[in-house]
Amino acid sequence: MEAITVHPKNKEQLQAPEIILKAMKVPFEKREVNGHAVKKV
């Protein structure tokens, strides 16, 4: 299976794909980079 990397420029852009993926019950991982915490959803 393929993976998609998204580079949102703000919180709104980040939330849009999350909402869609959750609605479709598609599992995904959320990671913050550049020294920030890593969160797995």
| pLDDT at residue 27, as a whole number | 93
Is residue 16 domain-resident? yes
Along the chain (41 residues), what's the average pLDDT of each consecutive run of 10 residues? 87 94 93 62 55
The model's pTM is: 0.62
> Cβ neighbours of residue 31 under 8 Å, at least 6 residues apart?
38, 39, 40
Q: Measured between alpha carbons, how far is 33 from 20 in angstroms, rounded to an integer?
A: 22
Is residue 38 domain-resident? yes
Domains of the chain: total: 1
Are residues 20 and 6 in contact, defined by beta-carbon separation less than 8 angstroms? Answer: no
Is residue 2 domain-resident? no
Is residue 22 domain-resident? yes
Is residue 1 domain-resident? no
Which residues constitute the domain of residue 40?
7-41
| pLDDT at residue 39, as a whole number | 57
